[in-house]
Amino acid sequence: MTLSAYPSATLLIACPDQRGIVAAITDFIFRNNGNILHLDQHVDAQENVFFMRVEWSMEGFAIPRESVDAVFGEIGQQFRMRWSLHFSDRNQRMAIFVSKYGHCLYDILARYQSGEWNVDIPVIIGNHPDFEAVAHTFGIDFKLFTMTKDNKAEQEQAQIALLREYKIDFVVLARYMQILSPSFVEAFPNQIINIHHSFLPAFVGAKPYHAAFARGVKIIGATSHYVTGDLDAGPIIEQDITRVNHKDSVEDMIRKGRDIEKLVLSRAIWHHLRRQILIYNNKSVIFG
């Protein structure tokens, strides 16, 4: 990453693989006087799908930003692309969901306050009130939605309405201890990032550190993924691990694991914010 006074445009593209795609796209940028900053492409040879991320400077670009998408559309349709266009000077709006564990939340907020990320965080949603004061310290609204078996559907609808009201682009579950219903998940497809405290697919579900302890593993891990209707089975964005040994009790694993969880989640958010992720067949292509 290097900084510039001019915004950049980023195109994310997926389409059936065929000859001439890269030539067509880079010619489009070149003819309109764009200077490519980053270009990554990938072909899934098994599925015959082409993926691309290209970022170019808008300095001197011939097409006004509000028309880029439409003009590019001719190429897009020719190659039967799914594509999305993003400009670097438009911050995404992120909501954080929390329960009672603060390590991921603090890690996010410290980055937010230091300006590490280009993001706006207007609201934190909790099913417990524990972090209300912390939210306010960082100048962020806090909304409490207590959850019971009976009110879950209703509360989720209220949450969705609130997220719409705050014009939220994507949601981060920072060790949020509630399973989202399918209808909530469908409202934000590939826009809800979770952190699970194991190296998936090992130890799906509750209490993975207890399961890891019982199995006697020598490494523990954490996995950040997009939430889908299947528990802990969405597209993986990032994973990491740390070593443990026989001296480590479950409590030690939980303590060591927290450090992995917070870094893995924050790296996943970074990729999402930088528009580096393409999803296909429940897997991620990360142009990092």
Reduce the DSSP state of residue 198 to 3 states and report it. coil
Give whichever of 160 and 177 is closer to a second copy, judged by the CB atom. Answer: 177
- Minimal distance, residue 157 CB to a second copy, in Å: 31
- Minimal distance, residue 249 CB to a second copy, in Å: 5
- Minimal distance, residue 114 CB to a second copy, in Å: 6
Give whichever of 45 and 148 is closer to a second copy, judged by the CB atom. Answer: 45
Q: Which two tokens stand for residue 30?
A: 């070149």
Of the candidates 62, 10, 7, the residue with the CA atom closest to the CA atom of residue 32: 62
Give whichever of 123 and 286 is closer to a second copy, judged by the CB atom. Answer: 286
Give whichever of 2 and 148 is closer to a second copy, judged by the CB atom. Answer: 2
Reduce the DSSP state of residue 240 to 3 states and report it. strand
Ordered DSSP codes for 21-39: HHHHHHHHHHHTT-EEEEE
* H helices, E strands: number in the chain: 8, 13
Reduce the DSSP state of residue 19 to 3 states and report it. coil
- Minimal distance, residue 96 CB to a second copy, in Å: 14
Q: Establish whether 240 is a catalytic residue.
A: no
Of the candidates 107, 169, 232, 248, the residue annotated as catalytic is: 232
Reduce the DSSP state of residue 144 to 3 states and report it. strand
Residues with catalytic function? 232
